[in-house]
Amino acid sequence: MLAQLDTIQTEALAAIAGITDEASLEEVRIAFLGKKGSLTAAAAGMRDVPADQKKDVGQKLNEVREAITSALETTSADLTAKKDAAAFASIDPTLPSRPLPKGGLHPLSLVLDEAVKVLRRMGFALAEGPEIETEWHCFDALNTPADHPARNESDTFYFENGKLLRTHTSSVQIRTMEKEVPPVRIIAPGSAFRRDEIDATHLSAFHQLEGLYVDQRVTLADLKGTLEYFFREIFGSKTEFRFRPHFFPFTEPSFEVDIKLHAAGRPSKWIEIAGCGMVDPAVFSEVGRKRGDAAYDPDKVTGFAFGMGLDRLAMIMYGIPDLRLLIENDVRFLQQFRG
């Protein structure tokens, strides 16, 4: 009996070694372990084994079954592994991807978002105002003389009812101060319009970011600190910039901010990037007159304001040579800003 079991084991292992596929695996399993299999038949012969040999034969029987089962399992695992490998063998991982549509944000949105992120960290909240404005909000309240050239119909878009398309986002300063009492700490991104023929450096509609901070003791030093932080965050901590005295009707003192631009192969040069200054007391007086209260008493509050062109910022940050690219929406242009 023991010899018979040895023979079965030898035969089974030989048969298993010859297995090539799932079907022959199953055949071999059935031939040895199936209901009519040779090992099953041998096991049935246990009842004829004398009692004193039962233990040894039983043990042998288990060993043989174990050996065959184990060999079958190993072979089965090998077969599965081969099949799995074969299933992916034809894949060329160097093929280009199966495409998904790719989109992205407009460079102006990216620049604006950068600016907004920095200014929000500094405690500014967003504000907005209408783009169709009254002359009072756009000019009078901002201390602009009645015969200032900016009011010309040759420079500013008007409507029949006397309103106009705001020429700067500074009108949002006035809109905000009409509604809110100090402290006011806002930024207002938005469109502004000037009656310019469109060319590489002019758009009839462009984008600005306005800032205003009014409180009891706001100083020129605060303005300097705010813009220095802002421009270092945007352009890097080593950015060189300068505050150049200038004139705006609605701030005094007034400055323009230049940053030094380094372009490969060209001499570095100063580029004007923002206008700023301390809110002119005449602006507070006019707002106070409109409000009919003393919330903006020029003897009690001070403030700073700044404004910058986002289109220009985008041109500088991305090296865009022509403003018209910003309004043409050519996908070949837009897809360069996916970042």
Partner 1 sequence: MNVSLQWLGDHVDFSEYSIPQLDELLTFAGIEVEGIESLPDHLVVAQILSSEKHPDAEKLSVCQVDDGSGKPRQIVCGAKNYQVGDKVPLALPGCVLDAGEGKTFEIKEGKLRGVDSLGMMCSAKELGLAADADGLLILSPDLKAGTPMAEVYPAVFELEITPNRPDCLSHLGVARELAALAKKPLKGRAHFGETNTPTRAAKADEVRLESEVCPYYTARIIRGVKVSESPAWLKQKLTSIGLRPINNLVDITNYVLMETGQPLHVFDLAKLEGGIVVRQAADGETFLALDEKEYALLAEDLVIADAKKAVAIGGVMGGEDSGVTETTTDVLLEAAYFNPQAVRRTGRRLGLHSDSSYRFERGVDPLQVAGVSEFATKLILDLAGGKADAELLVAGGAGEGPKPVALDNDYCRRIIGAEIPDATIDGILASLGLEKTGGAWKIPSFRLDLVRPIDLVEEVARVHGLDGIPATTMATFSPASKADEAYDFLRSLQGRLASLGFHEARNLKLISGAQLADDLATSHRGMSPVRLKNPLNDEQDYLRPGIVPGLLASASRNVRFGTSDLRLFEAGRVFVASPKGEEIEHEHLALLMTGARIHRSWADSKPKAIDLHDLRAALEAICPEGLNFVPVSDGKLLCACSVEIGSGKKAVKIGMAGIVPPARARELDLDAPVFVAELNLKKLMSVVKAEIRFADLPKFPGSSRDVAMLVPGDLAAGEVAAFFEAYDEPLLISAELFDVFTDPTGAKLAPDKKSLAYSILYRAPEKTLEAGEVEAAHGKLLDSLKRTFNVEFR
Helix (H, G, I), strand (E, B) or coil at 304: strand
Residue pair 142/281 in contact by the 8 Å Cβ criterion: no
Cβ-Cβ contacts under 8 Å for 162 (sequence gap 6 or more): 134, 135
Q: Which amino acid is at 306?
A: F
Rank residues 37 and 275 by Cβ distance to partner 1 and give the closer one. 275
Among 217, 238, 262, 266, binds partner 1 (CB under 8 A): 217
Tell me the C-alpha distance between 320 and 324, whole Å.
10
Task: Name residue 243's beta-bridge partners.
Answer: 257
Residue 321 interacts with partner 1 (CB under 8 A): yes or no: no
Of 109, 311, 116, 106, the closest CA to residue 211 belongs to 116
Residue 131 interacts with partner 1 (CB under 8 A): yes or no: yes
Among 20, 221, 238, 319, binds partner 1 (CB under 8 A): 221
81: number of Cβ within 10 Å = 10
Site for partner 1 in 76-105 (CB under 8 A): 95-96, 98-105
CB of 278 to partner 1, least distance (A): 6
Among 17, 77, 126, 181, binds partner 1 (CB under 8 A): 126
CB of 197 to partner 1, least distance (A): 6
Of 8, 146, 163, the closest CA to residue 71 belongs to 8
Among 27, 69, 163, 318, binds partner 1 (CB under 8 A): 163
Residue 136 interacts with partner 1 (CB under 8 A): yes or no: no
Alpha-carbon 315 to chain mean position = 20
Residue 123 interacts with partner 1 (CB under 8 A): yes or no: yes
Among 174, 185, 235, 313, binds partner 1 (CB under 8 A): 185
Among 205, 271, 295, 317, binds partner 1 (CB under 8 A): 205
Rank residues 69 and 285 by Cβ distance to partner 1 and give the closer one. 285
Site for partner 1 in 260-289 (CB under 8 A): 278, 280-281
Tell me the C-alpha distance between 338 and 99, whole Å.
16
Count of residues in contact with partner 1, rule CB under 8 A = 85
Residue 143 interacts with partner 1 (CB under 8 A): yes or no: no
Tell me the C-alpha distance between 33 and 53, whole Å.
23
Task: Name residue 261's beta-bridge partners.
Answer: 269
Stretch near partner 1 under the rule CB under 8 A, chosen from 38-46, 47-55, 82-90, 325-333: 325-333
Among 186, 209, 212, 320, binds partner 1 (CB under 8 A): 186
Stretch near partner 1 under the rule CB under 8 A, chosen from 17-25, 36-44, 53-61, 248-256: 248-256
Write out the H or E segment, with its range, that includes residue 119: helix 107-121
Q: Which amino acid is at 331?
A: V
